[in-house]
A and B are shown apart, each in its own frame.
Chain A
Amino acid sequence: MAQIEITNVSKNFGFGNRAVVALDRVNLQIEKGSFVSLCGPSGCGKSTLLTLMLGLQAPSGGEIRINEQPVLSPDKSIGTVFQDANLMPWRTVLSNILYPVELRRLPKAQFRERALELLDLVGLRRFADHYPAELSGGMRQRVSICRALILDPDILLMDEPFSALDALTRDEMSLELQRIWSLHGKTVVFVTHSIREAVFLSDRVVVMGLAPGRITEEFDISLERPRSAEIETVDRFNTLIHDIRGSIARGRIGVDVEMERT
């Protein structure tokens, strides 16, 4: 059985005539230790799907199981990274990383060492006692990755984590994420608008389409690892990007067809 089992999951918002189908019978299996990206136009329900996986909302239909358990509320087996670093400005870097420890009422002293090791991993150990305002955007996002990893979760959910960063920092972060992933072997579900980023990082890219939000196509990315910036010269890399872009475009056209029908 896959680590994440999403079976026939639907999500509606609103009632009656105003009801919007955000997700329509989504099926997805994610194997332990794999890196899966969700790609698609705005409004295709990728963030909604993430919210459901987190257990922050319940699906309107279907079921999500993680490690064979139905998802009912946020679980500490999942770490999350958001679009913004969402660090508390009144806490130091170290204290921000230890926040999930505090919320789960675990002994902070025991996790201090781990927090510092994680900071080592992203090259920010000497900033442990700094405040977020003293860090650059990329550094803050690295801290938020440490925070997501502090309880040693099985799964990392990442909701467009690099979209607020500039292009150069973004490439750097992709390499770094690949390195962290290869060291820790977490299952990663990665939501992104960037097809290139998705192909670069993933074992599998799941393309979602609009109106209603649904999965339209899946691509296996069988490129060798570790991948470096050199991969851009590999034909297969570029072919995949091209194919996925086409697939997303077709999923988007769905809307216009829908609209003509109504």
Chain B
Amino acid sequence: MSQRASAEVGDLAAPSSLWDRFVGSWAWPTTVFVLLLVGWEAYVRLSGILPVILPAPSAVLSYMWVQRELLLENAWPTVLHCLLGFVLAVVGGIAIAVLITQFTTIRRGFYPLVVGIALIPKISVAPLFTLWFGAGTVARVSLVFFIAFFPMVVSPASGLMSVDAGLLRMARAFGASRSQIFWSLRVPSAMPYVFDGMKVAMSLAVIGIIVAEFVTADRGLGYLVIFATGLLDTTMMLAAIILLSIIGLGLYFAIETAGRIVVYWRS
């Protein structure tokens, strides 16, 4: 019955003409995107702007196809280091979140510190990490970890504290112990927060790996961007940026999808 009622409201709100349905679907943003590309292409061709300033999208796309091996070769270490740092941040962050929420002493001592360190503009330490950890993988993964770590502490921690008061009372009334409350109530209640944290951490991890590769790398898409700048090869630069964006989007949606599967009760 409620379904029918909501359908009626929907009908009232949106008289479903062909145009309205078009605007409401995926087709509309795709069209806008294509129109922007066409506009860009037309502008480059008609204005005669130098390719070194702005290459045509067709040129970038064909470059991406022709140089696909070079791009993929450089995408691999970027993705690998990004994921490595991200996973470490997730595991470490959740572990710290559990300690902070379960032990008052640790919370009192460390939480203000964590919040304080979280305020450091983390990109600024990239050169420092190179100094400490050398120019290799360790420095890059460390930066990704460092930048992605804090949302993975703060978000799961607030999740673990966010258990519904009524559920807590109920569990205690049925004789639940502290550890039973932790596993049966706190962990599931924290899940939506964990995935919210992972989304933020993942966007930051992608930024982290690019900055790390700017500072020191001999491979990777971030390195490719810097390398292309040196060559004034704007097409290569844009190709790397586009591929980075696609990777970032893909990783984000992977987490989004995983979240929807794990947190199946929040629709």
Q: Do A and B bind each other?
A: yes
Residues of A whose CB lies within 8 Å of any CB of B are 54, 56, 73-76, 80, 82-84, 86, 88-90, 99-100, 102-104, 131, 133
Least distance between B226 CB and chain A CB atoms (Å): 46
Contacts A82-B169, A131-B265 known; A88 to B185 CB distance under 8 Å? yes
CA distance A89 to B189 in the complex (A): 9
CA distance A104 to B174 in the complex (A): 8
Interface residues of B in 233-267 (CB under 8 A from A): 264-267
Cβ-defined partner of B175 (8 Å) among A73, A82, A83 = A73
Interface residues of B in 156-196 (CB under 8 A from A): 164, 166-167, 169-177, 180, 184-185, 188, 191
CA distance A55 to B191 in the complex (A): 31
Q: Cβ of B185 and Cβ of A74 under 8 Å apart? A: no
Q: Cβ of B174 and Cβ of A133 under 8 Å apart? A: no
CA distance A230 to B196 in the complex (A): 55
1/0 contact string of B127-165 vs chain A (CB within 8 Å) = 000000000000000000000000000000000000010
Q: Cβ of A74 and Cβ of B172 under 8 Å apart? A: yes
CA distance A234 to B185 in the complex (A): 47
Contacts of A73 in B (CB 8 A): 175
Contacts A102-B184, A131-B265 known; A86 to B167 CB distance under 8 Å? yes
CA distance A131 to B265 in the complex (A): 8
Least distance between B164 CB and chain A CB atoms (Å): 8
Least distance between A133 CB and chain B CB atoms (Å): 7
Least distance between A54 CB and chain B CB atoms (Å): 5
The binding surface of chain B is classed by DSSP as: helix
Contacts A88-B185, A88-B188, A102-B184 known; A56 to B167 CB distance under 8 Å? no
Residues of B whose CB lies within 8 Å of any CB of A are 164, 166-167, 169-177, 180, 184-185, 188, 191, 264-267
Contacts of B177 in A (CB 8 A): 103
Contacts of B184 in A (CB 8 A): 88, 99, 102-103
Contacts of A104 in B (CB 8 A): 175
Contacts of A75 in B (CB 8 A): 175
Q: Cβ of B172 and Cβ of A100 under 8 Å apart? A: no
Q: Cβ of B170 and Cβ of A82 under 8 Å apart? A: yes
Query: Can you give 11 contacting A-B residue pairs, CB < 8 Å?
Result: A54-B173, A74-B172, A76-B175, A86-B166, A88-B167, A89-B265, A89-B266, A90-B265, A103-B174, A103-B175, A131-B265
Q: Cβ of B171 and Cβ of A103 under 8 Å apart? A: yes
| Residue among B167, B172, B173, B264 having the largest count of chain A Cβ atoms under 10 Å | B173
Contacts A99-B184, A102-B184 known; A56 to B175 CB distance under 8 Å? no
| Residue among A54, A83, A84, A90 having the largest count of chain B Cβ atoms under 10 Å | A90
Q: Cβ of B166 and Cβ of A82 under 8 Å apart? A: yes
Least distance between B194 CB and chain A CB atoms (Å): 13
Contacts A90-B188, A102-B184 known; A80 to B265 CB distance under 8 Å? no
Q: Cβ of A80 and Cβ of B173 under 8 Å apart? A: yes
Contacts of A80 in B (CB 8 A): 170, 173-174
Contacts of B266 in A (CB 8 A): 89
CA distance A80 to B166 in the complex (A): 12
| Residue among A56, A76, A88 having the largest count of chain B Cβ atoms under 10 Å | A88
Contacts of A74 in B (CB 8 A): 172-175
Contacts of B180 in A (CB 8 A): 103
Given A56-B173, A82-B170, A88-B188, 16 more A-B residue pairs with CB atoms under 8 Å apart are: A54-B173, A56-B172, A74-B172, A82-B166, A82-B169, A83-B166, A86-B164, A86-B166, A89-B265, A89-B266, A90-B191, A90-B264, A99-B174, A100-B174, A103-B184, A133-B265
Least distance between A35 CB and chain B CB atoms (Å): 20
Contacts of A56 in B (CB 8 A): 169, 172-173
CA distance A75 to B180 in the complex (A): 16
Contacts of B171 in A (CB 8 A): 99, 103
Contacts of B175 in A (CB 8 A): 73-76, 100, 103-104
Least distance between A155 CB and chain B CB atoms (Å): 12
Least distance between A156 CB and chain B CB atoms (Å): 12
CA distance A90 to B189 in the complex (A): 9
Least distance between A58 CB and chain B CB atoms (Å): 14
Sorted from nearest, which 4 A-B pairs have the closest CB atoms? A86-B170, A74-B175, A100-B174, A89-B265
CA distance A103 to B177 in the complex (A): 8
Contacts of B176 in A (CB 8 A): 103
Least distance between B243 CB and chain A CB atoms (Å): 38
Cβ-defined partner of B169 (8 Å) among A86, A89, A90, A133 = A86
CA distance A103 to B164 in the complex (A): 18
CA distance A86 to B172 in the complex (A): 12
Contacts of B167 in A (CB 8 A): 86, 88
CA distance A212 to B264 in the complex (A): 47
CA distance A133 to B264 in the complex (A): 11
Least distance between B165 CB and chain A CB atoms (Å): 10
Task: Identify the closest chain A residue to B180 (Cβ).
Answer: A103
